[in-house]
Structure 1
Amino acid sequence: MVGLLCVAGSALCSGSAVVLQAVAVRRLPHDTGLGSTLARRLLTSPAYLAALVLVALGFALSFVALRTLPLFLVQAGRASGLAVAAALAVLLLGARFTGRDAAGLVALGAGLVALALSVASAPVAAPAAGVPLGLLGAALLLGVVAWRVAARPPATRTGLALAVMAGCGYALLALAAHVVDPTRPVELPADPALWAGALGGCLALALTALALRRAPVVPVTAATVATETCVGALLGLVLVGDRALPGRGLLATVAFVLVLAGALAVARFGSPESLAEPEPVTAQG
């Protein structure tokens, strides 16, 4: 029960952070790259700082949930944060629901209930030898590729590529949190999975900001959420043996698809349409 409550809390935090991030990045110049200028601009934005606090809190809650729940359930729960973003957009920004949005929320809710019924709390299985080091290698490779893509001229296609890579970064962070053993604090600094998660998370935050400034927020949000949810779930199944309860594998699969489809249906609420466009800003530094 504690794990499921943490998943719900994480969804609330991540959904709220989506709206705040969208507000903050609209003031970035379109040609901002992956470097110190990006960090300086974002860290002087109150909206983005508030989003970071919520992201950190949401991750902490996810970390607790990952001690006893499979990664595919926690990832699906995080994806449901888009429903929170939808509610905030309606209540605070004057956005309106459509029939598609309502159907998406129903699918999302039904999928979450079914997922909760398909799993039981259990200790995390130890990863196979080499998995933590492999995660660190994947995070470093992601950083190199992301740097090269971010250096390209601003374009919608580039923004979507950055969104997919941001989703991969979040997935690496989630898997690292799943396999790190917090009961051995003395050994944590030497755990490659810890550093892989830190690098993946930092990359994901920066790449999300760049993607939101280079491409429409709806496809960016959808690409990031879909990649994070599916890649994270797949890594959990393949690398650490996450499984549903015996006889409930089909239920878990259908539920996962419902949550993902519902989240993507309401992905447009990551882009508050009622916000005015900012004054043009030119990149400096």
Structure 2
Amino acid sequence: MLIGLFAALLACVGYGVGSVLQAYAARRSAAAAQERGEVGQLTETGAPTVASTVAAVLTAAFIVGSVLDVVGFVGNAVSARLIPLFLSQTIMSANLIVTAVLGIFVLGIRLHLRDWVAICSVVLALAALGGAAGHEGGGSDDPVLHWGVLVASLLLFGVSQLVVRRLGSRGAVAAGLAAGMLFGALAIAVRIVQGIDPLDVPTLLADPAAWTIAIAGIGGFYLHTVALQLGSVNGATAALVVGETVIPGIIGVLVLGDTSRPGLEWLAILGFFLAIAGAVAVAVFGNLPHPEDESTTDKPDPVAVGGE
């Protein structure tokens, strides 16, 4: 249990710091392209092209952020195997707090009272979940679930591409939400994949859940990058948090046997929904202009204010 909690906290920090570095790199890359007078960085609707996303990925800050994402992925995988999914995924949702606080210093983001209230609600929710969580359930040999997460991941990635391209510059939350849902599918796949303990490579490669880990991981990484290019790092990360928390938490309880402490089911439910509500609030507030920002006559540097 303690190892699982530590792994989830490690994932939380890795994902949070990585998101800020990636947002910084994405905006620096876009600003540099504009200064060079390069065209073709955006589609007609304002969505970033594949070329612009690749350019952002190849910057030094983005590479460091990606390494931290790998650290987060390892922590995510370990925690998903050792503690209930509703707890592991919600602890990782605290990367929203890491992102918000670090964004103040790296991206120059200004947080207001409504932002802090939403962030504090996530902290309280995590404390409630930590106190109410019981034992994790097991995996599942049901081929319907193994194939289901793979098919769902492929469909989600395909549909999200169409939606984000249609929404264009307004698609940050949609891209972040889709990325989070793919990471949620990854967490479910990690829990149910066969051939891990003990290690059996042929069994592992034959399991659709193993392919889900690869596909959902790459797809989620790409969509998260797109979300960071399109909008506020806090809004994109909060949308991701909602996606990666809700579905795994529900599947873990209903299908995989995750439980809370006897008599504390109400606290687990309260904490779960409070965390989601707080993340949604941060996502909404992160994409709303602040009154004093609107009244500024000087045009802000998009890197300095993180696109807020």
* TM-score exceeds 0.5: yes
Separation of aligned partners in 1, 2:111 and 2:190 = 35
Contact conserved, 2:189 with 2:210, CA < 8 A, in 1? yes
Deviation at 1:211, TM superposition (A): 2.7
Q: 1:99 to 1:177 in 2, by over 3 A?
A: same
Deviation at 1:15, TM superposition (A): 1.0
Partner of 1:139: 153
Between the two proteins, what is the percent identity of the paired residues?
A: 30
Partner of 2:191: 178
Calculate the TM-score normalised by the size of structure 2: 0.78
Q: 1:149 to 1:198 in 2, by over 3 A?
A: same
Q: 1:138 to 1:38 in 2, by over 3 A?
A: farther
Question: What secondary structure sits across from 1:240 in the alignment?
Answer: coil
Partner of 2:37: none
> Per-residue displacement from partner, 1:190-214 (whole Å, max 9, x unpaired)?
1110111211111111112223333
Calculate the TM-score normalised by the size of structure 1: 0.84
Alignment of 1:1-285 (within 5 A): 1-26=2-27, 27-28=29-30, 29-31=41-43, 35=50, 37-38=51-52, 40-122=54-136, 124-152=138-166, 154-156=168-170, 158-181=171-194, 182-183=196-197, 184-186=199-201, 187-267=203-283, 276-277=301-302
Partner of 1:283: none
In the alignment, structure 2 segments of 5+ residues that lack a partner are 31-40, 294-298, 304-308
Partner of 2:34: none
Separation of aligned partners in 1, 2:105 and 2:235 = 23
> Per-residue displacement from partner, 1:65-102 (whole Å, max 9, x unpaired)?
11221111111111111111122123444444433333
Separation of aligned partners in 2, 1:266 and 1:160 = 11
**RMSD, matched Cα:** 2.9
In the alignment, structure 1 segments of 5+ residues that lack a partner are 279-285
Contact conserved, 2:85 with 2:258, CA < 8 A, in 1? yes
Deviation at 1:8, TM superposition (A): 1.3
Q: 1:33 to 1:149 in 2, by over 3 A?
A: farther
Separation of aligned partners in 1, 2:106 and 2:227 = 24
Separation of aligned partners in 1, 2:224 and 2:139 = 31
Question: What secondary structure sits across from 1:212 in the alignment?
Answer: helix
Separation of aligned partners in 2, 1:176 and 1:68 = 14
Higher relative contact order structure (alpha carbons within 8 Å, sequence separation ≥ 6): 1
Letter paired with 2:301: A
Deviation at 1:55, TM superposition (A): 0.9
Letter paired with 1:75: Q
Q: 1:159 to 1:263 in 2, by over 3 A?
A: closer
Letter paired with 1:18: S
Q: 1:71 to 1:40 in 2, by over 3 A?
A: same
